Structures are given as C-alpha cells and as structure tokens.
Amino acid sequence: MDSGIGLLPTAAAVRRLRPDADLVLSSDPEGMPWGPRTPADITEHALAVARAAAAHRPDALIVACNTASVHALPALRAELEPGIPVIGTVPAIKPAAAGGGSVAIWATPATTGSPYQRGLIRDFADGAAVTEVPCPGLADAVQRADEEAIDRAIAAAAALTPRDVRAVVLGCTHYELLVERIGAAVQPPGLPPVVLHGSAEAVAAQALRRIGASPAPAATPGADLTVLLSGRGSALPAEALAYAEGRLLETVDQTVDAAR
C-alpha cells in the first residue's frame, strides 16, 4: 500500500523474489498527496487503503510509503495484527553510512528535518556527515510521470547535494523509480560513483521472512495482480507504465475487484 505509485518498486521486488505470489496493490490517488496532511489525517487515509487491501485476505501488508510508516504504522498494526503482519518502510540510512563517507538523504519537505528523520540519523548514521535534502514536487512529478517536472525537481535537489557525498538515501518510495536519473544528477565528474540506497529490496525480503516464505525467483510466473485505486478495482494507471517496475508488473494477469 502507498498513497500512489511509490509502491511499484517494492511490489516489483516481491515479484522478482516470488514470481508466483499474488499481489494486491492498494493506493489512494484521490487522497494524494499525503505529505501535507496532519498525522491524524494521514492515519485515516492509510487505514482506508489498508482495509481495502485487507479485504483480499493477504498473507502480509507492506506499507511501501515512508510517510505512512512514520505516522500510521502503530494504528495499522493495532488493527490488522496478528492476523495480517504489517511491514513498514524505513530509509536505508544505516547501510548508506556503513559504506563510509558523507551521506545525503533525499526526502519530501514534510519528512526533511522532521523529528522522525533526525532520530533515524542519530540512531543509524554512526557518526557519518549527513545532509538532509528536501525535494519539493518530486514525488508529485513522479506520480504524474511528468518528465519536465521530474527533471526540474531532480536538478534542484542535486544542487543542494554536496559534491563530496558518497551515498544518497532515497527517503521516499516514489524516488526509487528514478534511480538512474538521480544517480546521474548527483555524480560529480572524475569522482567514484555515488551509491544510491533504496528500501524496496530489503522490505520485500523482510515481508517474506515475516510470513515464513523463502525467495523462489525460478518459480513459474503467472500470479494474479489486483489493483485498487482509492478502494476501487482498476488496471494499473497509465502513469505506472512509464516506469520499468510498472511494466514488469503488467506482464502478469490483472484482476479487477468488480464488487468495489
């Protein structure tokens, strides 16, 4: 679940680990963006999206959204666990800092400088120099697949990223759809490659561990994909197909919940 298509990287990671897994993708395009909402409002929207997914009786619910993980995870777990394990998303600050050198965290303006993110830096940066980089408009541009707006937002964030940064943490799941473009924007000529750290692969692996399932990438593909947009059955939105992760997911049969 996510507010929008930021769930694609994690869903694609699950698909790569378990091609035989049925997936339910539940998002809230009518309620986007979640970032400017109050914590209580974010929790209300996240619960609605989670309930739509839970109606399909999944083995686990992945909260593939940093904002919802910050504000709504306790409420989601209180309502759904232990029947449905709930796995949140945390920015990959610890592995980024472990690589040595300075680190930048690209995140939404609402998350940048927040007590939550500052706490993660304090607990997991292990003394590394960390620059928090706000990325106004980037998640919205990704959601719309607006190429010009994406380029402008990336350029603005790259201009705020110190040249000596050795790792960039992608603190919004939408940004993981832009790994190559962000990497090119932050790479200074003549310096070693800047490493980008997303959360999708680790979160997908954690979800499998929580339900006692092992990766089986050689499994026969062909599992179902159910898409819920603000609770109603749909196909993948056209914007999702602008990204490789969306096209990967489209290769499986889509089922529409006609009852919604």
Q: Is 65 a catalytic residue?
A: yes
- Of 49, 65, 73, 138, which residue is the catalytic one? 65
Cis peptide before 134 (omega within 30 of 0): no
- Of 158, 172, 203, 229, which residue is the catalytic one? 172
Q: Is 135 a catalytic residue?
A: no
For the four alpha carbons of 48, 52, 57 and 62, in that order, the dihedral sign comes to negative
Q: Per residue, what are the HEC states of the chain?
A: CCCCHHHHHHHHHHHHHCCCCCEEEEECHHHCCCCCCCHHHHHHHHHHHHHHHHCCCCCCEECCCHHHHHHCHHHHHHHHCCCCCEECCCCCHHHHHHCCCEEEEEECCCCCCCHHHHHHHHHHCCCCCEEEEECCCHHHHHHHCCHHHHHHHHHHHHHCCCCCEEEEEECCHHHHHHHHHHHHHHCCCCCCCCEEECCHHHHHHHHHHHCCCCCCCCCCCCCCEEEEECCEEECCCHHHHHCHHHHHHHCCCEECCCCC
Active site residues: 65, 172
